[in-house]
A and B are shown apart, each in its own frame.
With several copies, the nearest count.
Chain A
Amino acid sequence: MTINESAQGVVEEFWMFDDWMDKYAYLIELGKDLPVIDSQFKTNNHLISGCQSRVWLHAEEQEGQIVFTADSDAVITKGIVSLLIRILSNHTPQEILEADFSFLESIGLQEHLSPTRANGLASMIKQIQLYARAFQLKSNQL
């Protein structure tokens, strides 16, 4: 599945719920299901700034693709990062760097979230892109 296709899937899932309480319930479920990050990566190094809750994000390369794992002390935040990971994990750095993040607008996430959370979301995306760029540079140097 391309990034665009999985993003489309997420948007459609979100549109199924009329009520934002249900969307939050869905995010909470996603958060609870998020595979837990290896505890060795829950360090300040992996902490994303700009969130009222704490978020750790780790990236690994597996056969040319990036695999993200993450955790947060707040479960809704975990749900949001899980959603990003579902869409962006297992893609090449190139694909991630070219990804179109406008699907977030279709979900209404950025608009609905508080500025603090929206900042947090922006920080997460920035961090994901930074990882992608770093891996790309590394592979170009090989």
Chain B
Amino acid sequence: MAFPVNQLRNDFPILSTQVHGKPLVYFDNGATTQKPRQVINRLVEYYETENSNVHRGAHHLSNLATVSFEGARNFIAQYINALKTEEVIFTRGTTDSINLVSTCFQSFVHQGDEIIISEMEHHSNLVPWQQLCLSKKARLSVIPVLEDGTLDMETATQMLSPKVKMMAISHISNVLGTINPVKELIAKAHKYSIPVLIDGAQAIAHIPVDVRDLDCDFYAFSSHKAYGPMGAGVLYGKSVWLNKMPPYQFGGEMIDQVFLNETVFNRLPYKFEAGTPNVADVLGMETALHYLETIGIDKIQKYEDKLLKHATSLMLEVPGIKLIGTAKHKTAVLSFVVEGVHPYDLGTLLDQMGIAVRTGNHCAQPLVESLGINGTIRASFGLYNTISEVEYFVASLKKAIAMLL
């Protein structure tokens, strides 16, 4: 059965808007995705019928909100196949999730220890670990990226040792689209008892995610990159680690008993959820993941792969274009540079033609610099993009390049 893209597009109100008088072609899904009506409606429904603070109340609305909120946790735990519901911690997003872990790991990292990341990490999975290493006089070891945009697995394997206290790797690169062999890396790291955090920001909306199959110790993602609202995200953590870690933020919800001179902290997951949680956006995130589940993430992956293949073959025909990131296993992210053309100029002209792409270093400055360039243009696809958008994009690209050269 063909992928029902036209029907799905109807779910996304923003897709029928115009930009500079042209129909919007939204190819900036790597930065954030658009939201289906179902998700927007869920927010409205919540605020119109259920809104309340959770957990602490004995009244009807508070009960409704609590049941919905904990139901969302339960659904999301199942969606990523967590062993226990309490292993799902709600955060503000990927950056917040990673900072939670890197801050709590201050207790576990000491002078002379090592932390492994890769050269393709987003700043959000790089700077927290770099700063942890700087403050603890630990060493940051960086797995190099090969010409085609894959990890140098040989070097990675050699880096493993009992000195390593954490390996933090992206599931999928936001610049290159590379799907990293994280399962293999995790298995290798576990031989040295190294915990592994996977930055799943670019994975959750594009490929199946099964934390138990991966056997990762932590997995982080953002709602807003998976068709859900902004302001919510998940930190999955194995309960053995979460129980071992000290709390991150302090305040309401995360405490059991407070005395002036000491505090008894709450159990998981509340221990890591200080303050009033963002109930509405968590429910929106649940709805978004449910939306993906209903379509079928396998089908989405297959469809986006078709878009990628088609776009890649068309772009290879355009003179002067160089694709950045050509791994065999990759998602529908097309980073490229054009000889003699500044990405910013190209982005500006594409925007005039209604096409939203991203230009710059994509918050992955070390990677971009290691490639010897000062930025790329990135088109990243989502489930609502179409073959004809791809063709319009390549035609517009040619036109823009002609103007600029």
| Chain A residues proximal to chain B, CB less than 8 Å | 20-21, 24-25, 28, 52-53, 73-77, 114-117
Q: For the complex formed, measure the closest distance between the CB of A111 and the CB atoms of chain B, giving whole angstroms.
A: 10
Binary flags per residue of B348-367, CB closer than 8 Å to A gives 1, else 0: 11011100000110000000
Q: Which residues of B contact A24 (CB under 8 A)?
A: 348-349, 352, 403
* Closest A residue to B343 using CB positions: A74
Q: For the complex formed, measure the closest distance between the CB of A102 and the CB atoms of chain B, giving whole angstroms.
A: 20
Binary flags per residue of B324-362, CB closer than 8 Å to A gives 1, else 0: 000000000000000000101100110111000001100
Q: Which residues of A contact B351 (CB under 8 A)?
A: 114
The distance in angstroms between the C-alpha atoms of A20 and B360, with both chains bound, is 23
A114 near B63 (CB under 8 angstroms)?
Answer: yes
- Known interface pairs A21-B352, A24-B352, A53-B342; A115-B67 also in contact (CB < 8 Å): yes
- Known interface pairs A20-B352, A24-B349, A24-B352; A115-B342 also in contact (CB < 8 Å): no
Binary flags per residue of B378-404, CB closer than 8 Å to A gives 1, else 0: 000000000000000000000000011
The distance in angstroms between the C-alpha atoms of A21 and B353, with both chains bound, is 8
B342 near A75 (CB under 8 angstroms)?
Answer: yes
Q: Which residues of A contact B349 (CB under 8 A)?
A: 21, 24, 76
Q: For the complex formed, measure the closest distance between the CB of A50 and the CB atoms of chain B, giving whole angstroms.
A: 11
Q: Which residues of A contact B353 (CB under 8 A)?
A: 21
Binary flags per residue of B226-256, CB closer than 8 Å to A gives 1, else 0: 0000000000000000000000000000000
Q: Which residues of A contact B403 (CB under 8 A)?
A: 24-25, 28
* Closest B residue to A25 using CB positions: B403
- Known interface pairs A20-B352, A24-B352, A28-B404; A76-B63 also in contact (CB < 8 Å): no
Which 8 residue pairs of A and B lie closest in terms of their CB atoms, listed nearest first? Answer: A74-B342, A114-B63, A74-B344, A53-B344, A74-B345, A76-B345, A115-B66, A52-B344
The distance in angstroms between the C-alpha atoms of A25 and B403, with both chains bound, is 7
B352 near A116 (CB under 8 angstroms)?
Answer: no
Query: Which of A21, A25, A116 interacts with B58 by CB under 8 Å?
Result: A116
A114 near B342 (CB under 8 angstroms)?
Answer: no
The distance in angstroms between the C-alpha atoms of A21 and B399, with both chains bound, is 11
A77 near B344 (CB under 8 angstroms)?
Answer: yes
Q: Which residues of A contact B67 (CB under 8 A)?
A: 115
* Closest B residue to A72 using CB positions: B342
B352 near A52 (CB under 8 angstroms)?
Answer: no
Q: Does B191 contact A (CB under 8 A)?
A: no
Q: Does B62 contact A (CB under 8 A)?
A: yes
The distance in angstroms between the C-alpha atoms of A116 and B348, with both chains bound, is 11
The distance in angstroms between the C-alpha atoms of A74 and B338, with both chains bound, is 13
A76 near B66 (CB under 8 angstroms)?
Answer: no
Q: Which residues of A contact B359 (CB under 8 A)?
A: 52
Residue pairs across A and B with Cβ atoms less than 8 A apart, 10 shown, are A21-B352, A52-B58, A52-B344, A74-B345, A76-B344, A114-B57, A114-B59, A115-B63, A115-B70, A117-B58
Q: Which residues of B contact A75 (CB under 8 A)?
A: 342, 345, 404
Q: Which residues of B contact A20 (CB under 8 A)?
A: 20, 352
The distance in angstroms between the C-alpha atoms of A116 and B56, with both chains bound, is 8
Q: For the complex formed, measure the closest distance between the CB of B281 and the CB atoms of chain A, giving whole angstroms.
A: 21
* Closest B residue to A75 using CB positions: B345
The distance in angstroms between the C-alpha atoms of A52 and B351, with both chains bound, is 16
Interface centre among B20, B63, B344 (most CB of A within 10 A): B344
Interface centre among A20, A53, A115 (most CB of B within 10 A): A115
- Known interface pairs A114-B62, A115-B67, A116-B58; A76-B352 also in contact (CB < 8 Å): no
* Closest A residue to B353 using CB positions: A21
Q: Which residues of B contact A115 (CB under 8 A)?
A: 63, 66-67, 70
* Closest B residue to A112 using CB positions: B20
A76 near B20 (CB under 8 angstroms)?
Answer: no
Q: For the complex formed, measure the closest distance between the CB of A66 and the CB atoms of chain B, giving whole angstroms.
A: 28
The distance in angstroms between the C-alpha atoms of A75 and B404, with both chains bound, is 7
* Closest A residue to B60 using CB positions: A114
The distance in angstroms between the C-alpha atoms of A114 and B91, with both chains bound, is 25
The distance in angstroms between the C-alpha atoms of A116 and B360, with both chains bound, is 12
Q: For the complex formed, measure the closest distance between the CB of A116 and the CB atoms of chain B, giving whole angstroms.
A: 6
Q: Which residues of A contact B66 (CB under 8 A)?
A: 115
Q: Which residues of A contact B360 (CB under 8 A)?
A: 52
